[in-house]
Amino acid sequence: MSAPSLSSTTYQRRAPLMSRLTEVVRTMWDLGFISFGGPPVHFQIYHKRFVDGYKWIDEQTYQELFAICQALPGPASTKFGFCITLIHSGFIPALLAFLLFSLPGVLGMFALSLGVSKMDETLPRPVYALLCGLNSATVGIIALAAVQLGQRAVTDKVSRALLFLGATAGMLYNALWYFPLLMVIAGIVTMSYDGGLGPKALLYSKNLFKRMRHRQSNSDRPVEEGLGDGAWTSSSVKEPVAAHRRSSGPAVNEELVSQNPESQANEVNEVNEVVEGAATTTANKNKVFPMPLAITIVVGFFISFIVILVLRAELKSRPIGLSLFANLYLAGTIIFGGGPVVIPLLRQYIVDEGWVTARDFLLGLAIIQAFPGPNFNFAVYLGSLTALNSGSLPSAIGALLAFIAIFTPGMLLASATITFWNELRSRPWVASILRGLNAAAVGLIYTAVYRLWEMGYVDENHANGSSLGRDPWWVVITATSFVGTAWFGFPAPFSIVLGAAMGLIWFVVVNAGQSGAELLGTAMMEL
């Protein structure tokens, strides 16, 4: 018997809490064990299960939640599952769904940290080769995630340009404030463009270009009527404006609309019908909190963020627990684009502080890709190692502090935004801003690919990591991971394991000058 549809959300919230919790366990218990492959795969699993299967949400709500979760900071796919359950069953069942999705990976990464802390400072050479293979395959998987998410985020030339500029700008500079600034700029650009400034600038540029050509040609032909004073005829504007309306949705400046009253009315009515239809399809279904409570959540979050920033800046000698929590709370607040982006940025917040060695960071980075659940679980591994290396904090406390700090910002903002969204979704400028945020967020995933590539090679002489471009073989592994997953349907864990095996093959080939017995003996002794 299928679960109730979204239209019965109100009934679901009136149902006894225990029955709602039981339903969540029955429908989501396995997600923490089967959700390999990162956000792109997670989103596909959610669609198949909760749109096509149980019908907890409809297609339009799915697409809107996807945009919201990409635009907000924090773990995108984790917030997505949380919000689906929040809409369908309420807040406490949503917390249970979050734990079901994340805890298996959390426990695995915590156990890994305990094992890594007991390793020698220098690893056997075959292990370094294996790690380089894992990291190379990881880059391929994340690059594929960027491509797949980009196919959804890019809807027109403006979003395509923002994706490109976000990726390149992120490669050129790195700071705590920089990535959020890029996101804000992208949102302002799409809002301005959809509001009419974009088409107007395009037409002005075309006008200027024609005038320049006219002057340079020294032709006696008269300029087309209206070009000299910036006015445009209906035929020169009608198609660009109509195409812009169809691609972006929000209405453009009336000065740019065709002078044909009937055509103008039809275009305006078409846009209004789309907006009104979007506003009424799921009206009042996504308001999970009273508006005052939602506002209180957002205000409380920003107050906590400011307090943590002040403590982080002003306290000269902070306890390691407070420093760890502050850094990861900050990371969870300013990281857009989900798991692929969080990994290279955590290097700055953890490794650059001297809490975890670059080697241990890269080892965990290689293995997290083969774990189910959110990539943000990597913070648990780092928190545990930070506590172990400091000697002043139990490893379990460090892991718990990291878990709470990295996930809390995104979950709080997502919870409140679901309530606000019902009030904002009918306003074209909101959709425009989301479009820009999505494009920039995907661009930052390409930045993550670059940064992971530049630190993925590790051996006894490069403990801090260096570029995988040192040897063409690592390029081959990256390409194999990308192509195998994208074209031949390799599961992400299989691609990661294949990369590790290819890394060991590289080790054998490079040491082929030794006899087979000597090579085997060397490898066994080093292991």
% helix / strand / coil in the chain, to the nearest 5?
75, 0, 25
- Specify the range with the lowest mean pLDDT, choosing from 210-224, 283-297, 460-474: 210-224
Q: What are the pLDDT digits (tens) for 445-494? A: 888 888 888 888 888 787 777 899 989 999 999 999 999 988 998 887 78
3-state secondary structure of 11: helix
CA dihedral sign, ordered 456, 457, 463, 465? negative
Q: What is the mean pLDDT of residues 125-153?
A: 84
Q: Is the pLDDT of residue 1 over 70?
A: no
Q: Which residues contact 270 (CB under 8 A, 6 or more apart)?
A: 245
pLDDT of 472: 94
> How far from each other are the two terminal CA atoms of the chain, in whole angstroms?
54
| Other residues' Cβ atoms within 10 Å of the Cβ of residue 278 | 18
Angle at 126 between CA 124 and CA 130, to 5 degrees: 120
Span 392-396, mean pLDDT? Answer: 92
pLDDT (average), residues 39-49:
83
pLDDT digits (tens, 9 = 90+) for 165-209: 989 998 888 766 677 788 889 889 998 888 876 666 666 666 766
Domain ranges of the chain: 16-124+158-198+289-448
Question: pTM for this structure?
Answer: 0.70
Angstrom distances, CA of residue 255 to CA of 196, 259, 480? 9, 9, 52
- Report the SS3 class of residue 319: coil
pLDDT digits (tens, 9 = 90+) for 158-171: 989 999 998 999 88
Mean pLDDT estimate for the chain? 78
What pLDDT is recorded for position 204? 61
**What mean pLDDT do residues 353-365 have?**
86
**Where is pLDDT greater, at 213 or 188?**
188
Q: Give backbone dihedrals phi and psi of 352, rounded to 5 degrees, phi first.
A: -65, -20
3-state secondary structure of 251: coil
The angle formed by the CA atoms of residues 229, 232 and 235, to the nearest 5 degrees, is: 160
Sorting pLDDT into bands at 50, 70 and 90, what band is 240? very low
pLDDT at 209: 65
pLDDT at 215 over 90: no
Report which of 344, 347, 373, 438 is spatially closest to residue 39, judged by C-alpha positions: 373
pLDDT(354) > 70? yes
> Predicted confidence band at 8 (pLDDT cuts at 50, 70, 90)?
very low
- What contacts 117, CB < 8 A, 6 or more positions away? 385, 388, 389, 395
pLDDT greater at residue 52 or residue 9: 52
The pLDDT of residue 203 is 65
Alpha-carbon distance of 504 to 467, in angstroms, equals 18
DSSP letters along 82-105, please?
HHHHHHHH-HHHHHHHHHHHHHHH
User: Token pair of 403, please?
Assistant: 């878990």
Alpha-carbon distances of 18 from 12, 49, 55, 395, rounded to whole Å: 11, 22, 21, 34
Query: Is residue 330 over pLDDT 60?
Result: yes
